[in-house]
Structure 1
Amino acid sequence: MVKSLLNQLHTFFCYTLILAGLLSGHKVEAQSLEEMQQIQQARQAADAQKVDVSRYIQSESRFKRSPGSEGVTPGRNGESGASQNIRPFGANLFDGSFEAERSDGFNPAYRVAPGDKISVQLWGTVELAEVLTVDNQGNIFIPQIGPVQVMDVPATEVNQVVKTKIRSVYTNNVNAYVNLLTATPVSVFVAGPVIRPGQYAGLPTDSILYFLKRAGGVDPVRGSYRKISVLRNNQSVQEYDLYEFMREGRLPPFSFKDGDVILVNEQGPMVTVEGAARYPYRFELTEQRSRGSDLTYFSRPLAKTSHVAITGNRPDGPVSVYVPFSEFEDFDIYDGDVVLFNDDLQPQVISVKVSGSYIGPSFYTVKKDARLLDLLPHIEVDAEHADIDSIYIKRESVKAKQRELLDESLRRLERSVFTAPASSDGEARIRAQEADLVMRFVERAKQVEPLGKVVLSEQGRIANIRLEQGDEIVIPLKTDLVQVSGEVLMPQAVVYNSEARLTDYVAWAGGYSERADDERIAVIHANGLTTFFETGGSSHWFSSASEAQIRPGDQIMVLPRVDTKLIQSIKDITQIIYQVALAANVALDSN
């Protein structure tokens, strides 16, 4: 009770300090609401459970330690906590609910036991239709024939054994049909490192997976998936390696008897696999020292793997080696090792895509140091239809940078709104309403996808830049149209007119809408360049609309006007609207 009260006082004191800073006119560079909640939860967990808060700090990579990584709980033989969190290979075998699915058939290797039900039907000279129970001596008793020994007879041979006995008495004109109907339930013990060891009922034909699942599955920290024994009268009668089942589908058939014990042995040497592998799990080895080929058989590294990093402990101290993949096959690995499969070969060629108006292939493979003008002569185009003077590139790295800059602007906008001071209750309510509007604007802005345009051409000259992997070379199609979009009454395509001015095209599209910013217009040229124009005279970095040279293929975009009631954040919102227009060619509305 006292601790809870102290926590509440601590939280109240923190918020009081923040509020005092706001009222004094100082802007607080606050963290986001989500980050504050996470910090508060971490502090409460530390107070309640007396744990090190540094455990909440996780490094991005095993090979990059962050401050506070000393608090990471070490695993067995020095394995990091991150490695320990990787599930063992085979652990997902017990995630399903297959124990609820029962089979009506029998295992071919099942042997008849006392209590089983056998259907016997005779017709001809003698007629009989009965279901007989195997007695404690292993016999079924057939009238006029006597006892027939069937105990330990395989299920596939019961029919033949009983029919042979019947024909020894009735040699002629008697037909027989014998069928094993049901097996007597058995009680099997499950012991060792499993989640719920104990005694479980099932059918003799049930698989070992059924009983292990009933026991909660193998303990992923202590139990072995490769050394599971079935004991009968304290003697091992069957051995299982679940890796063979997971990898090759092999599960030896076995018929359980009452009192059998399934013993899961202690977990063997474990090696953690990371990186370029199809199965990045913790693998159990059968020997204390194994070869790399034993691990690759189960982990299946990707074809692109070129090198392998091995870290671990040896009797003479820690080791960390980096070897080619071809040498890893014969490399000795030990318990606790961490194996990282890596693609460390730099490609000597890159792939480039072509879109727009072109003839021929759409993908080209070039040397990694190739430049644009090295490739352009190999791209076929129709000179009458392709606007080769307006070529531009869409580049993933530019797209990522535009996304990063836009996200940073949005975070700055959120901080400016949530830390704006309020001198009265009425102003605080207004700020809350403004914050709601801004948050809706931010959500829409986050959904905008930048194009990653790289402007290359100007006045017929094309920059000879170095190409990058994944570049998309865009060759615009020649057109006689000018697109008018954004805050106009009728967004549409207008035929190019060499005598028309910028404002004429806007007028032909129905004029400005009521939410339009009629003082600034963006023009996106066919080569990807975006220019902003002032309709009421030039100012700042804008050009006057009278200087605008509209060309065929251009897109005129009328931007929305920012509501002046958002006076605290109008500059930031305006900046973001321009960023979106530049990066994504979209007129984002602030309302």
Structure 2
Amino acid sequence: MRKIIILLLLTILSGVATNGYSQQNVNPSQVRISELSDSQIRQIYNEIMSRGLSEQQAISLAMARGFSRQQIDALQRRFEELGLGQESVADTTQASSGSALYDQELSFKAEIEPSEEERRLFGFNFFNSDRLTFEPGVNLPATDSYIIGPGDEISIDIWGASEQSYLLMVDNSGNINIPNAGAVSVGGMTLQKARKKIFDKLVLIYRELSGDQPRTFANIYLGQIKPIKVHVIGDVFAPGSYTLPGTATAFNALYLAGGPDMNGSFRSIKVIRDGRVIKVLDVYDYLINGNTGNNITLRDDDVIMVPSYLNRVRIGGEFKRTGIFEAKEGETVGNMIDYAGGFTDKAYNERVEIFRNESRQILFKSVTKEEFTNVQVENGDSISAGELTERVENRVIIEGAVMRPGNYELEDGLMLSALLKKADGLREDAFMQRGQILRLDEKLQLQNIPFNVEDLISGKFDVELQREDIVTIYSIDSLRQERTLQIRGEVASPGNYDYRNGMTLSDLVALSGGFLESASSSYIEVARRLSHEEASNYQMRTGHLFQFSISRDLEMDEQDEQFELQPYDKVYVRKAPGFVQTGTVRINGEVIYAGEFNLSSRQERVSSIIERAGGLTPDAFPEGAMLTRKVDLDPKVKRLREQLMEQDITLQFDDLGFEVVAVDLKQALANPGSRDDIFLKDGDELMIPRELQTVRIGGEVLNPNSTPFIQGEGLRYYVNQSGGFSDDARKGKAYVVYPNGKAAATTKFLFFKNYPKVLPGSEIVVPAKKQREPLPATAWISIGSSVASLALTVVTIVNAVN
């Protein structure tokens, strides 16, 4: 695909005759690719094989000639239809000597991996930002100051009384050859001067170009600009030689090289041409002032020299830009502040701090605002700006029971009474006996100035305010405990409510959403604490109790209606004695009508619920029936378990949300009302399975598995079916878990073990022996010493006896 596009563009630039138009009068917009014959397409292809251009250069030339993307696409399709374009243009051996200049690929930006310190350089992002690019553009038109050299292509379009087009290349001698006019030397000229010289030459063959009313017109422009090679040296991230378009500037070359590195200068970058420094670039002048005058256009073989910096200053604190900045000789603190964008809105801008590196120590210097333009910076300086303090110079504050509390400006001689007027006076709930002023004295110690609000209103007291005074006018409610009422029990929204003067019991019930269906309106209790006067003396009584009855429509008798609630009263609405929340149980498995059933009484038993379910099916296995019951774990129990597990990490609790109630359904149905016929609770679930045909053996056996149940066989038989006991088996503690949740353990009489009976669906569990920790070496040494001592004692006694 890429080769086809290059061939297409080269064809467009070749000036081949197409569709009856000669090379001299081709108008790009009039070329219809679809009307060209196959032989013409092949002719175009054969002619362009003698030309060599990079894809990017060919694209630039095509755009300069004025061809559209539709024409390019159409010609590409014609090439594909004829099977052309398989050979690479780069393999052409018949390229002209002038086209060799275009074989150079343009350079790409060097890949660098800067450190965090290098990223702090002011100007680093200018050459390495993802959003700001100085990638040299190949499609940019040449300016009038562009210097023409070998390899450039000059296009000439003649229209009017005469029509002609020329595509002329500047040869190595700097000349172009205009047919019928001769050679014109344009090498080394600016584009503006070359246009005039070429125009004067064209007048010789097109007389009508001159005169007051010319009938022929000419457009002279660069159709192709030769690439140039420049050399970037010095302290840059990627020094080297770079190939750029002829219109590239110094910033384009620095961009490809990554810009100055940690040691490089942004302020004195030199552009060297023919051994002479023709320009010294200051990147800061562009970044700060937007001055583009430094960014000159480069020529072939130019050298960009980035020297090392002379002075580098670190700027931090409350500046708009922080980082590492470069300073020229003689620049001051004020210049650095300008480069940093000035102070932030939170900065204290009356002075800055400078830490300066002396030969053997660091020197601190404080620079005031008046000295910013006089104090020069030195290499290694660190400049910092502090933050404004929260201290306000001319503010007083009034808060509390006034109409407009807040901050007010402190005017000369502002009195407390005047501040109260500014706050639109007191609120109706203001406490008149006392207010206060919080003030900082000369030593910044807190000082309290109390005053009587009534005396302030009457004019008997007043005081002049000072900076940062805080005036507080208390409200009546703010000086007493928050007054609330509490209601608990069978109401829609139990909780605490604000006390209101004159509130009755019916009012509070209505405020809490009214009675629930479970409420007993005939038994409502009010608990009231002792009054302040009653509590002043010790007594056995701790409060008062009152009992009332209220109808569902919140009506009370005349006597009870006069009872008013007092702050901190607690009201309890009891549950009606006969109210019971309807409970349900669920029966699954082998019953006639499985599903959920409401409990009809507080003493609903298993036998009655089975009867309501239509009884057991013929396939039911009552011995395997299991009853599960919901367990709501109390939060206190949960917390206690958590504390126990924190103390002992080996301790574990299973919180499954239910428990298994071992029930003997066969006995319950045979003896209704017996102890096996237990009462049911809300949420119970009874599962009655079909007769089970297997027995599961687990624990310390050689091959835990399930085996078919055989009537009359005991525990040892099923253990043998699992390979027998393992070496770690605790045979005397083997037990059986029955399908209904009950369990039976092995018993022992003298030397005989009595294993429990095994039923269908049972599980045999063989526990493991307790693992004893082996004695350490020190214990064996101690035992050996004890035995040796004992043997010595025995020998001594024997010898004494003999």
Q: Normalising to structure 2: TM-score of the pair? A: 0.39
Does 2:125 match 1:118?
Answer: no
Out of 109, 117, 132, which is 2:145 matched to? 109
1:349–1:368 CA contact under 8 A, matched in 2: no
**Which residue number corresponds to residue 214 of structure 1?**
256
Partners of 2:515 and 2:191 in 1: CA distance: 87
Higher helix fraction: Structure 1 or Structure 2?
Answer: 1
In the TM superposition, what are the counterparts of 1:232-311 in structure 2 within 5 Å?
Answer: 232-251=273-292, 252-287=294-329, 290-302=331-343, 304-311=348-355
Partners of 2:468 and 2:422 in 1: CA distance: 18
Out of 359, 362, 372, which is 1:328 matched to? 372
Partners of 1:155 and 1:176 in 2: CA distance: 15
Greater shift, 171-180 or 194-203, is seen at 171-180
What percent of counterpart residues are identical?
Answer: 24
Partners of 1:569 and 1:369 in 2: CA distance: 66
Greater shift, 119-128 or 222-231, is seen at 119-128
Greater relative contact order (CA < 8 Å, ≥ 6 in sequence): 1
**Which residue number corresponds to residue 421 of structure 2?**
377
**Which residue number corresponds to residue 431 of structure 1?**
none
| Residue deviations 1:406-436 (CA, integer Å, cap 9, x gap) | xxxxxxxxxxxxxxxxxxxxxxxxxxxxxxx
Partners of 2:348 and 2:267 in 1: CA distance: 29
In the TM superposition, what are the counterparts of 1:6-17 in structure 2 within 5 Å?
Answer: none
In the TM superposition, what are the counterparts of 1:10-29 in structure 2 within 5 Å?
Answer: none
Out of 121, 124, 138, which is 1:91 matched to? 124
2:392–2:468 CA contact under 8 A, matched in 1: no
Out of 155, 170, 180, which is 2:206 matched to? 170
**Which residue number corresponds to residue 184 of structure 2?**
148
Greater shift, 109-118 or 493-502, is seen at 493-502
Partners of 2:400 and 2:178 in 1: CA distance: 84
C-alpha change, 1:502 and 1:378, in structure 2 (3 Å) is: farther
Structure having the higher Rg:
2
C-alpha change, 1:168 and 1:475, in structure 2 (3 Å) is: farther
Structure 1: 5+ residue stretches without partners? 1-82, 393-455, 514-535, 539-544, 551-561, 571-591
**Which residue number corresponds to residue 404 of structure 1?**
none
Q: What's the secondary structure of 2:154's corresponding residue?
A: strand
2:393–2:467 CA contact under 8 A, matched in 1: no
C-alpha change, 1:326 and 1:146, in structure 2 (3 Å) is: same
**Which residue number corresponds to residue 170 of structure 2?**
134
Partners of 2:469 and 2:238 in 1: CA distance: 53
The amino acid of 1:150's aligned partner reads V
In the TM superposition, what are the counterparts of 1:504-515 in structure 2 within 5 Å?
Answer: 505=508, 508-510=511-513
1:358–1:475 CA contact under 8 A, matched in 2: no
1:350–1:368 CA contact under 8 A, matched in 2: no
The amino acid of 1:248's aligned partner reads N
Q: What's the secondary structure of 1:226's corresponding residue?
A: coil
Partners of 1:139 and 1:99 in 2: CA distance: 33
Does 2:350 match 1:314?
Answer: no
Shift of 1:311: 1.6
Shift of 1:96: 1.9
Q: Number of aligned residue pairs: give it.
A: 376
**Which residue number corresponds to residue 554 of structure 1?**
none
Q: Normalising to structure 1: TM-score of the pair? A: 0.51
The amino acid of 2:351's aligned partner reads H
1:222–1:267 CA contact under 8 A, matched in 2: yes
| RMSD, aligned α-carbons | 5.4
**Which residue number corresponds to residue 574 of structure 2?**
none
| Residue deviations 1:511-558 (CA, integer Å, cap 9, x gap) | 899xxxxxxxxxxxxxxxxxxxxxx999xxxxxx964499xxxxxxxx
Shift of 1:199: 1.9
In the TM superposition, what are the counterparts of 1:453-532 in structure 2 within 5 Å?
Answer: 497-500=500-503, 505=508, 508-510=511-513
Out of 391, 394, 408, which is 1:349 matched to? 394
Shift of 1:326: 0.7
Partners of 1:147 and 1:491 in 2: CA distance: 107
C-alpha change, 1:127 and 1:309, in structure 2 (3 Å) is: same
The amino acid of 2:372's aligned partner reads F
Q: What's the secondary structure of 1:278's corresponding residue?
A: coil
2:310–2:327 CA contact under 8 A, matched in 1: yes
The amino acid of 1:378's aligned partner reads K
The amino acid of 1:365's aligned partner reads E
Partners of 2:176 and 2:494 in 1: CA distance: 91
The amino acid of 1:498's aligned partner reads N
C-alpha change, 1:139 and 1:507, in structure 2 (3 Å) is: farther
1:372–1:467 CA contact under 8 A, matched in 2: no
1:502–1:548 CA contact under 8 A, matched in 2: no
Partners of 1:490 and 1:137 in 2: CA distance: 102
Q: What's the secondary structure of 1:266's corresponding residue?
A: coil
**Which residue number corresponds to residue 383 of structure 2?**
339
C-alpha change, 1:241 and 1:375, in structure 2 (3 Å) is: same
The amino acid of 1:162's aligned partner reads I
Partners of 1:180 and 1:365 in 2: CA distance: 71
The amino acid of 1:230's aligned partner reads V
1:107–1:255 CA contact under 8 A, matched in 2: no
Partners of 2:163 and 2:469 in 1: CA distance: 82
C-alpha change, 1:169 and 1:365, in structure 2 (3 Å) is: farther
The amino acid of 2:203's aligned partner reads R
Does 2:240 match 1:204?
Answer: no
Q: What's the secondary structure of 2:200's corresponding residue?
A: helix
Partners of 2:160 and 2:319 in 1: CA distance: 67
C-alpha change, 1:126 and 1:223, in structure 2 (3 Å) is: same
Shift of 1:374: 6.8
Shift of 1:335: 0.8
Shift of 1:226: 0.8
Shift of 1:321: 2.0
C-alpha change, 1:469 and 1:563, in structure 2 (3 Å) is: farther
Shift of 1:152: 3.2
The amino acid of 1:379's aligned partner reads A
Partners of 2:514 and 2:453 in 1: CA distance: 31
In the TM superposition, what are the counterparts of 1:312-461 in structure 2 within 5 Å?
Answer: 312-314=356-358, 318-342=362-386, 347-350=392-395, 364-366=408-410, 375-380=419-424
Partners of 2:286 and 2:392 in 1: CA distance: 38
Q: What's the secondary structure of 2:121's corresponding residue?
A: coil
Shift of 1:263: 1.4
Partners of 1:537 and 1:154 in 2: CA distance: 109
Partners of 2:515 and 2:467 in 1: CA distance: 41
1:89–1:282 CA contact under 8 A, matched in 2: yes
| Residue deviations 1:434-483 (CA, integer Å, cap 9, x gap) | xxxxxxxxxxxxxxxxxxxxxx9999999x9x99989999999x9xxx99
Out of 208, 231, 234, which is 2:272 matched to? 231
The amino acid of 1:135's aligned partner reads D
